């Protein structure tokens, strides 16, 4: 099984008490599922097009772990803190192994 990633692209984040609480609580929701941040916002070095928003990528050992984290009571308890204070998209992606080549998607 490949690692999986929860990817969020957030825009118009209203920094306030709710987002602060979300940030203070999210790490403890990740721990039981062996999830951790690999990208958490920052200033991208844009090479093509225009970049808007903040990119967040979390790594999990499996897609089941990522799904269980997102659906967990602990995470669902804090989701409204983010949703009510930002616009964004969140999705879970299964990773590919190190031998993957671009042409593999043609098969």
pLDDT at 97 over 90: no
Is residue 102 assigned to a domain? no
Average pLDDT over residues 39-44: 91
Is residue 80 assigned to a domain? yes
Is residue 18 assigned to a domain? yes
pLDDT in tens, 52-69: 899 999 999 999 999 999
Determine the structural domain holding residue 58 and report its residue range: 4-44+53-95
Using an 8 Å Cβ cutoff, are 79 and 104 in contact? no
CA distances from 23 to 31, 54, 62 (A): 14, 14, 23
The distance between the two most distant Cα atoms of the chain, rounded to a whole number of Å, is 49
Using an 8 Å Cβ cutoff, are 29 and 75 in contact? yes
Is residue 103 assigned to a domain? no
Q: What are phi and psi of 38, to 5 degrees?
A: -120, -25
* The total number of structural domains that make up the chain: 1
Q: CATH number of the domain that 69 lies in?
A: 3.30.70.100
The reported pTM is: 0.90
């Amino acid at each position: 099984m490949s690692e999986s990633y929860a990817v969020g692209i957030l825009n118009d984040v209203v920094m306030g008490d709710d987002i602060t609480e979300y940030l203070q609580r999210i790490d403890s929701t990740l721990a039981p599922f062996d999830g951790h941040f690999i990208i958490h916002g920052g200033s991208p070095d844009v090479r093509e097009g225009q970049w808007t928003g903040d990119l967040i990528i979390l790594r999990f050992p499996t897609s089941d772990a990522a799904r269980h984290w997102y659906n967990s009571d602990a995470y669902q308890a804090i989701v409204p803190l983010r949703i009510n204070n930002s616009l964004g998209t969140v999705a879970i992606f299964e990773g590919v192994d190190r031998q993957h080549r671009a042409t593999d998607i043609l098969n």
